[in-house]
Amino acid sequence: MSTKTADASAEQGLALEKLRLLETYFQTREQEDALRESRSQIAGRLNQISAELRVIDAGRAAPKGDA
């Protein structure tokens, strides 16, 4: 194999590896974005639940009228 052919082969191999790594990088970014969205939704729901629990606790702590 000539040096020129070996260089071309090495270059092609590196280009393919670069493409695979870029694909993995962007897939990872998409997964991170999806996880961020999920965490945001979970945090929002936790805040809603906390607010509802505070209302319930406030109702329990409120003085009861004479029966």
Can you give the pLDDT of all 67 residues of the chain as single tens digits?
689 899 999 999 999 999 999 999 999 999 999 999 999 999 999 999 999 999 999 999 888 775 5
Identify the sign of the CA torsion 46, 52, 55, 59: negative
CA 45 – CA 41 distance, rounded (Å): 6
Reported as half-sphere exposure (CB side, CA atoms, 13 A), residue 10 has a value of: 7
In a domain, 18, yes or no: no
What ranges in the chain are assigned the alpha helix state H?
3-61
Range of the domain at 55: 24-59
pLDDT of residue 2: 86
Model pLDDT, residue 22: 98
Look at residue 65 and tell me if it is in a domain. Answer: no
11 in any annotated domain:
no
